[in-house]
Chains A and B, each alone.
Chain A
Amino acid sequence: MALTVALALLASACGRGDSAPDTPGFDKASSTIRVGILTPLSGPVQVIGEPLLNGFRTRFAGINARGGIGGKYQVEVVAEDNQYDVPTSVQLYQKVKEQVAVLALVGTPHVNAILPQLKTDGVVALPGSLDANWIREINLLPYGGPYQIQFLNGANWYLNQGGGRGRRICAMAIEGPYGDAGIAGLEAAAAAEGFTIEATERYRSTDTEFAPPVGRLADARCDAVFLTGLPATTGPIVGAGVKLEFTPLWLGQSPTWSTALSKSAELLPVLEQHFLLLTDGPEWGDETEPAMKQMIADIGLYRPEQKPDIYFQGGYLEAMAMEALLEKAAALDDLSRAGFLEAQRQLGRVSFGGLAGDWTYGPPEQRDPSRVTTVFRPNPSKPGGLEAVAKNMSAPSAQAYRFKS
C-alpha cells in the first residue's frame, strides 16, 4: 500500500505533458540547427531513399560552406532509416522530435501515420511527395509540381506538340491516393482540353502479370496511356504491351522512372521510342538553370562520386524547400516550434531556381503549388539518361487548375 502511494506521488511529480524545450533542435551556443530526415535506407525503397538522402546532405553541405542559414547558423542533418515500416517510422519520430527543429519525411503512409503527432506537437515537416492532399496542412511543407499538374501539362504537350489531337487517350494507375491523383489530373485535362479518356485501368504494386489490364488497353486501341505507378512496375507494364504488339505512347508520372530502367537492353529501345517522363526540373547538368548549376558545383565539392540520379535531385530539392523555411524562421528570429509554424504562414513565394516550379506558401488556404512540368524522353547519351523535350512548361489548363481547399 505504501508502495502504491509512493508510486502515485512519484507519477504525479513527473508528468511531462506541458513541458518541452523552447527551441528543440537549435543550439544557441554553437549556432547550429539540427534537421531530421526519416527515409528508407533499406528494403525495396532503398533505391529511392539512399540517393535522396545524399542529395539532401549535399545541399546543406553547400549551405554551411557558404555561411549557413541567415549567414550565421550551421545546419546538421540527423538521418534515420525508417525501413519503409510504419511502426518504425512512428518510433523514430518520437526519437528525433526533441532533437530536431524541422523534419523531412519520405513515403505517403509514413506521413499519414506521423501527421497526427506533428499536429499535436506543432512540428513542421516536409512530406517528400507530390501528393496534393497536403497543400492545406500547415504542419506540412510540400514542394514540386503535384501529380495532377504533371498530367495536365503532359496532356497539353501531347495534344499540341506530340501529335495527339484526335488520338485515343487512356489511363493506367496504381491503386491508392497516388493513382487517384494521377487520374484526377487526367480527368481535369480531359475537361479542359476537350478529350475523353477511352479506358482506365488500375493495378496493384504486387501484381506480376500485366497482360489482362494492358490487354484491355490494347482492345480500347489507346494511342497514349498516362501511367501513374512505381519504377518497379514500369518495365513489366510496357513489356506486357510489347508482347501484345501494343506500343502506345506511355506518359509516366515522375515516380515511374528509375535509372535501372535505362540499363535494360530489352526495354531501353522500346522506352526510347514510346515513353515520356513528366517531372520537375531541367536535364542533369543543364547549367542554364541556377539551382542546377549550384547543384553540380556542390556535387563537385562535396560528393564527387555522385552519378546522375533523379532521386538525388529530389533530395537536393527537398533541402531547398527546407532551407527556405529555415531562412524565414531565422529572419523572424524565432526558432521555436511556434516560430516555424509562423514562418510557414509568412513564407510567401519561394523560387526553386529552375529545379522545380515556384510555390506560393503562406496560410494553408492561400497556398498555390507549382504549375510547371518538364517532358523528358529516355536518351542514354544524356548524363542522366533523360533528354528534356519541353522544359518547365506550364499549360493554361495547369495554371487554371484549382486544388480543393
Chain B
Amino acid sequence: MTRRRLVAAVLAVAFVVLPLAVGDFGLSVLTFAGIFAVGAIGLDLAVGHAGQISLGHGFFMGVGAYAAVNLGAEAGLGLPVWLSGAAVAGGALGALVGLCALRLRGAYLAIVTVGVVFVGLYVWNNVPAISGGAAGAGGEAPAVLGPLDFNHLRVAGQSYAREQAWFWLVWALVAAAAWLAANLVRSRTGRAWQAVHDNELAASAVGVDVGRAKVSAFAVAGALGAVAGALYFGYVQYVGPDEWSLFLSVQFLAIVIVGGSGRLAGPVVGAVVLGGAPRLVEELSPHLPIGGLGLTVANLNRLLFGLLVVCFVAYAPRGLAGGWDDLQRRRRWGRRPLADAPMVRAAVADEPTIDDKEQL
C-alpha cells in the first residue's frame, strides 16, 4: 500500500468509527470543525492559491445559511436543493466581490471585503423577508439524501443519534469539497490562479486572463463559504443575524493560516485544531494555574488564539500542513535546504512599494 492509500484508509476508518466511539460533545465539536473546514477550503482557494485577500468570508457563510433557511426550512425543499442553492447564491455574490478585486489590491481590497461584512449585517438585520430580521430564523431544513434522513438517521433497523448522523453528513461533504478543490487546483483555472498568485503582471503577459482568474477564485470561495453556512443552519436549526461578523471572517483566515495555506490538508487541519483547541483548554483548565492569575479560561483561549495567529504568520507561514511536509522531506532527504516557496509569503505578490514613487 502506498503512503497515500494508507492515509486514505486511516481517514476512512476514522470517518466510520469516530461517531461510534466519541460522545455527542466530541462529535458536536468535530461537526462544527467540519463545517468550518468546508468554508476554509473555499477561502484557501482565493487566499492560498489565487493570492487574493478576503475578510468577507463570514458574509458568504451567512448567505448560505439564509439560503438554507428559505429553501430548506421555509420552502421545505430537499437537501440537494438548499445546498446547491446556497452554493449558487454564494458563488454569484462571490463573483460580484471578485469584480472589485479587478481594480483593487492589498489594503483597499481588504477594506472592501470588510465592507461586504457590514453590508451583510445590515441586510440580515433589516430585511426580515430574507433573514427573519434581528429575531433570527429557525426551523428544520430537510436533510434527506436518498434513503438516508440525517435528522433522524435509521439504517438497517438501527437508529442513530443526530450528532452521529450529522458528523457523517458534514465530513462526507468535507471530503467532497476537498476533492473538488484538488481537481480545481490541477485544472486550467487552478493554474491561472497560481500564475496570478505568483505574479499578476507576468501572468497577464503570458496570456492568463487575470480578471477571469480572480472572479472565479472569489466565486468558488463564496460558494463553499455558503455551503458551510447552509450546513451550519441545517445542523443548529437556528441562526441569528449577528453571527456573520467580521470575527467569523478572521476565524476563517486563522484556520487557513494555522493549517497551512495553499495546501489541500491545510484548511481541514486548521479547522480541527482551532475548533478543538478551545474545548481542550477548557477540559485541561482545572489543572492549569490560571485562576491565581485572574485569567478566565475563555480569555486564555482568546489570548492563545491571537498568539497562534501571530506565531504562525511570523515563524511558520507554511502552517501545520506545511510543517508536516517539511518534516517528511527532511526525514527522506536528510537536512537539505528547503525549497523557499511558502505559499503564504507570496499570497499577494504585489507589494505596492514600487507603485508609490510619485510621493514627494
Contacts and interface: CB of A to CB of B under 8 A. Distances in A.
Interface string A82-119: 01001110111011011000000000010011011100
B350 interface: no
A87 B235 CA distance: 10
B159 A176 contact: no
A42 interface: yes
B161 A17 contact: yes
A42 B299 contact: yes
A14 interface: yes
A208 interface: no
A176 B128 CA distance: 11
Query: Would you call the interface of chain A mostly helix, strand, loop, or mixed?
Result: helix
Contacts of A112: 136, 138, 238, 240
B254 to A, nearest CB: 15
Interface in A175-206: 175-177, 179-180, 204
A86 B158 contact: no
B239 to A, nearest CB: 8
Interface string A147-181: 00000000000000000000000000001110110
B153 interface: yes
Contacts of B237: 113, 116-117
Nearest to A96: B25
Most chain B C-beta atoms within 10 Å of own C-beta, residue among A41, A94, A116: A94
Given A12-B155, A43-B298, A94-B24, A204 B162 contact: no
Interface in B1-57: 9, 12-13, 16-17, 19-20, 23-25, 27-29, 32
A30 interface: no
A14 B28 contact: no
Given A15-B164, A94-B163, A177-B135, A113 B238 contact: yes
Interface residues of A, number: 42
Contact of B9 (A3, A17, A86, A92): A3
A91 B282 CA distance: 12
Nearest to A80: B282
A180 B160 contact: no
Contacts of A7: 12-13, 16-17
Contact of B160 (A8, A17, A204): A17
Interface string B127-170: 00000011110101000000000001111101111111000000
Contacts of B29: 91
Given A15-B164, A18-B159, A81 B20 contact: no
A206 to B, nearest CB: 9
B26 to A, nearest CB: 8
A400 interface: no
A384 B18 CA distance: 52
B199 interface: no
**Contact size range, B:** 35 or more
A12 B156 contact: yes
Given A10-B20, A97-B24, A116-B237, A15 B159 contact: yes
B279 interface: yes
B20 A11 contact: yes
Contacts of A381: none
A16 interface: yes
B134 A177 contact: yes
Contact of B32 (A81, A91, A179, A204): A91
B104 interface: no
A42 B159 CA distance: 38
A58 to B, nearest CB: 20
A11 B240 contact: no
Given A7-B16, A81-B296, A120-B162, A94 B238 contact: no
A120 B160 CA distance: 13
B297 interface: yes
Interface string A230-245: 0000000000000000
A16 B282 CA distance: 26
A86 B16 CA distance: 27
Contact of B159 (A17, A41, A90, A109): A17
B238 A116 contact: yes
A17 B236 contact: no
A95 B240 contact: no
Given A91-B32, A109-B136, A3 B13 contact: yes
B209 interface: no
B297 A81 contact: yes
A10 B298 contact: no
A114 to B, nearest CB: 8
B84 interface: no
Interface in B222-248: 236-238, 240, 242-243
Nearest to A204: B125
A10 B161 CA distance: 15
Contact of B25 (A17, A81, A91, A113): A91
A10 B17 contact: yes
Nearest to B296: A42
Contacts of B158: 12-13, 15, 17
A81 B16 contact: no
A17 B158 CA distance: 8
A95 B279 CA distance: 10
A95 B301 CA distance: 18
A109 B132 CA distance: 13
A16 B236 contact: no
Contacts of B140: 116
A11 B297 CA distance: 36
Given A15-B160, A17-B160, A86 B27 contact: no
Most chain A C-beta atoms within 10 Å of own C-beta, residue among B17, B282, B302: B282
A42 B297 contact: yes
B298 A175 contact: no
B22 to A, nearest CB: 11
Contacts of A175: 125, 133-134
B146 to A, nearest CB: 16
Given A15-B164, A87-B32, A175-B133, 9 more contacts: A10-B20, A15-B153, A17-B159, A43-B298, A81-B298, A86-B243, A88-B278, A176-B134, A180-B135
29 contacts: A3-B13, A7-B12, A7-B13, A10-B16, A10-B20, A13-B158, A15-B159, A15-B164, A16-B164, A17-B158, A17-B164, A43-B298, A81-B297, A86-B236, A86-B240, A86-B243, A91-B28, A94-B23, A94-B27, A94-B163, A98-B23, A109-B136, A109-B242, A116-B138, A116-B237, A120-B162, A176-B133, A179-B134, A204-B125
Interface of B: 9, 12-13, 16-17, 19-20, 23-25, 27-29, 32, 125, 133-136, 138, 140, 152-156, 158-164, 236-238, 240, 242-243, 278-279, 282, 296-299, 301-302
Shortest 3 CB-CB distances between A and B: which pairs? A17-B159, A42-B298, A176-B134
Interface of A: 3-4, 7-8, 10-18, 41-43, 46, 81, 83, 86-88, 90-92, 94-95, 97-98, 109, 112-113, 115-117, 120, 175-177, 179-180, 204
